[in-house]
Chain A
Amino acid sequence: MNRRIAMKTLFYALMIILALFYLLPVYLLVLTGLKPISEVDLKTMWALPVAGIHFDNFIAGYKQLAPNLNNSLAMVIPEALLSALLGSLNGYLLSKWKFRGSNLIFSLILFGMFIPYQSVLIPLVKFMQSIKLYGDIPGLVLVHIIYGIPITTLIFRNYYAGIGTEILEAGRIDGASLMGIYRYIMFPLSAPSFAVVIIWQFTQAWNEFLFAVILTNQSHWPVTVALNNLAGSQLVQWNVLMAATLLAALPTLVVYIFLGRFFLRGLMAGALKG
């Protein structure tokens, strides 16, 4: 019996040490952000603030990133909603209206999820320039929606595949058409999948860097590009940088904390284990 208690204690100790490792960067971000400018010193990086809690760094960080946070938001919201709608329709058709070759088409679409975007970057830039969608947010939204088709289709297809065909046949007998079944039967059942896909696409687009840095010009930079630029500049103090980093990470963190369940399902779908 003593051995079991010893084992349990060991497990708890291990888990707590590991949890501290995972929380270390957050501790640094929050702590540095809350110190007054006068207390910011690399030597006391880990010490708690002595002279009370201040928000100076967050305000300074927000001043640096405010336009970019807005750009990211303006990009992510239409992107997530439209992606979800498109993915839902694709998933419905590819799971419930299979035709000859539809499985092959699905696999070919799926491959798009894995490609390194460097392999399409040059044509993409030239194409976006030629259709005059280069440099601004609407173009970036379009690109994210298109390269999001594989994952959104996959998540919805797996979800709809789990819905029995009986309910569809019942709809058919009642005279519902392809779109009627979608509109009155499938769509109302899809809320959980919409949550998964919207959260997934939101997080992906918010965190994305390569398309953002290549396809937008400086006044339309999303927050990841601006943050990377801030980190590389010698003019910004590191305490402001830490506060800015936390601000840039906050939206997806908040979504994760409150809606983590759905987020995890999106990740699992990415592992093709629907």
Chain B
Amino acid sequence: MSRRFVLRIPDLILAIALLLIGVVSIFILTRTELHLAGRNFTSIGLLLAGLIFYCGVLVIVSMFINETYLSIALLLPSIVAVAIFVYGFIGWSVRVSLSQWKGLLPDYTWVGLQQYTYLFHDTRFLIDVRNTAVFTVGFIAGCLILGLGLAILLDQRLKGEALFRGIFLFPMSISFIASGVVWGWLMNPATGNRITGINLIFKSLSLDFLISLWHSSPQPWGMVFTVIPAVWQLSGFTMALYLGGIRSISDDLREAARVDGASEFEIYRYIILPMLQPVTLSAVIILGHMSLKIFDLIVALGHKDLRLDVPGIYMWTTTFDGTNYAQGAAIGVLMLVSVAILVVPYLIQNMRTETEI
């Protein structure tokens, strides 16, 4: 019979030492507090003590001949963290959404789907759904059209390609908050003497008909204008996706089409565009899940203006300003469902194709 376990004495001593240090530190830290540089580090200390204990366990597991045990043991902290912070908390949120918890003290009295039926009849939530739909359509359409256009432009091998690519891409490194603040000033709706921002440019160019109330326009147009900063930030990313796709199409294919007498336009229309469909799908999934969750940009742009409300903001104000936890949880769960419908089929398909390989 082959051996399944190798007892290495030095490792065993190390493991016992680590386990002991871990247990003793946990014992001490649960009875006293640790302060460092004016901060309470007790919890972090406990976390580290747990980590030391865990290292002791790892040393023991590493003595098994079958290294799969060690592999699983090493993955365990991440698996546990995701299990708690993603799946556990989602389950907990669902439970809260089925309760009548209102006010600071938890109240898990079961009320069934009452929070959800309320939301489906709630004017504010229905406006949020409409706003999200308007934003999502505008944002995805804007990013795809502009992104594809930019990618085709950059594919013409013009001079300064790298510079232009950099200019189209840089906005995505900026936070939604910063971009919301700047665009809030650029899209200033003031008129008359106080006219400013882009409206001022239009006025000085005598393009008065273009002067707009921007995101302060009556709905749903106000929401349409919030798409501008979002497209400014992410069309460059879409361009990069498309450009990667275009560049991966072999030149031979284009050359063959040229030999057959196809014009440049026809090459794009009949060869390149159809081959870019998988890229479009990826882009729609990525951009779509971002826009269903859109939050910070609208906060910075609209300062909780109810006309520009989206579920993310509603959840925030209801929960933390209004202390209506049950209803806040229900909004969060509905947001999750909308994202899951978009993403889960994609993830499953991704997993399947991978196992085939």
CB contact between B333 and one of A46, A119, A136, A272 (< 8 Å): that residue: A119
Chain B residues with CB under 8 Å of A133's CB are 43-44
Residues in A lying within 8 Å of B, measured CB to CB: 8, 11-12, 14-15, 18-19, 21-25, 28-29, 42-43, 45-46, 86, 89-90, 93-94, 97, 99, 103-112, 114-124, 126-127, 131-133, 136, 138-139, 142-143, 146-147, 149-150, 153, 177-179, 203, 206-210, 214, 224, 227-228, 231-232, 238, 241-242, 245, 248-249, 252-253, 255-257, 260, 263-264, 267-268, 270-273
Give me 17 A-to-B residue pairs in the complex whose CB atoms sit less than 8 angstroms apart, sorted by A's number: A22-B168, A28-B182, A97-B71, A111-B343, A122-B328, A127-B89, A179-B62, A207-B175, A207-B176, A208-B175, A214-B316, A214-B320, A224-B178, A241-B181, A242-B185, A249-B174, A268-B241
| Cβ contact within 8 Å between A11 and B156 | yes
Residues of B within 8 Å of A146, CB to CB, are 81-82, 85
**Hey, which chain A residues are within 8 Å of B119, CB to CB?**
none
Listed stretches B17-25, B218-226, B344-352; interface member: B344-352
Chain A positions within 8 Å of B12 at CB level: none
Q: Are B244 and A268 in contact (CB under 8 A)?
A: yes
B237 and A178 form a contact (CB under 8 A): no
CA distance A150 to B79 in the complex (A): 10
1/0 per residue, CB under 8 A from A, across B175-192: the answer is: 111111111111010100
Measured CA separation A28–B179 after assembly (Å): 12
Main secondary structure of the interface of B (DSSP, over half): helix
Q: A11 contacts B153, CB within 8 Å?
A: yes
- Give the docked Cα–Cα distance between A206 and B178 (Å): 11
Question: Do the beta carbons of B173 and A252 come within 8 Å of each other?
Answer: yes
Whether a CB of chain A sits under 8 angstroms from the CB of B138 is no
Contacts of A124 in B (CB 8 A): 85, 89
Using Cβ atoms and an 8 Å threshold, which residues of chain A touch B82?
108-109, 112, 146, 149-150
Which chain A residues border B164 with CB–CB below 8 Å? 15, 19
Which of A29, A43, A111, A143 contacts B182, CB < 8 Å? A29
For the complex, count residues of B whose C-beta is within 8 A of A. 108
A251, chain B: closest CB distance, angstroms: 10
Chain A residues whose CB sits within 8 angstroms of the CB of B114 once the complex forms: none
- Return chain A residues, CB-CB under 8 Å to B347: 107, 110-111
Complex: how many Å from CA A133 to CA B86?
Answer: 18
In B78-111, which residues have CB < 8 Å from any A CB? 78-79, 81-82, 85-90, 92-93, 96, 106
Task: Out of A12, A45, A136, A241, name the residue touching B197 (CB < 8 Å).
Answer: A45
Residues of B within 8 A of A15 (CB): 153-154, 158, 164
Instruction: Count chain B CB atoms within 10 A of each CB in A150, A209, A268 and give the residue with the most.
Output: A209
In the complex, B27 has a CB within 8 A of chain A? no
Q: Report the nearest A residue to B325, measured CB to CB.
A: A122
Complex contact A114–B153 (CB within 8 A): no
Q: How far is the CA of A194 from the CA of B10 in the complex (A)?
A: 33
If A97-B71, A147-B86, A179-B62 are given as contacts, then 7 extra A-B residue pairs at C-beta distance below 8 Å, sorted by A number, are: A109-B82, A118-B312, A210-B296, A249-B174, A252-B173, A268-B240, A271-B241
Asked if residues A23 and B167 are in contact (CB atoms below 8 Å), the reply is: yes
Given contacts A25-B186, A271-B241, contact A249 B286 (CB under 8 A): no
